[in-house]
Amino acid sequence: MRNPWGSEKYIGEWSDKSSLWTPEFKKQAGYVDDNDGIFFVPLDQWRGDWGGLTVCHYNDQWHKTEHEGNPSTF
């Protein structure tokens, strides 16, 4: 996930300092230890903590997709 505006850090499983990270997992995930707002969180935890999803991407123009409601359907 990415939170470009957040000043707080996620500190659970798969956080920047988590012991779950191995060099191989970091390579597969494209992990970079930087203050860039990108963080990893287990899907089950995400489903319990967040009620919506917004996906934005840029390829010559912005495209935004939003989903709200029961995260188990995402």
The tens digit of pLDDT for each residue in 14-55 reads: 988 899 999 999 999 989 888 888 888 888 888 777 777 777
Round to whole Å and give the CA distance between 4 and 11. Answer: 17
Round to whole Å and give the CA distance between 44 and 8. Answer: 21
Domain boundaries, the chain: 1-41, 50-74
At 67 the pLDDT is 61
At 38 the pLDDT is 85
pTM of this structure: 0.61
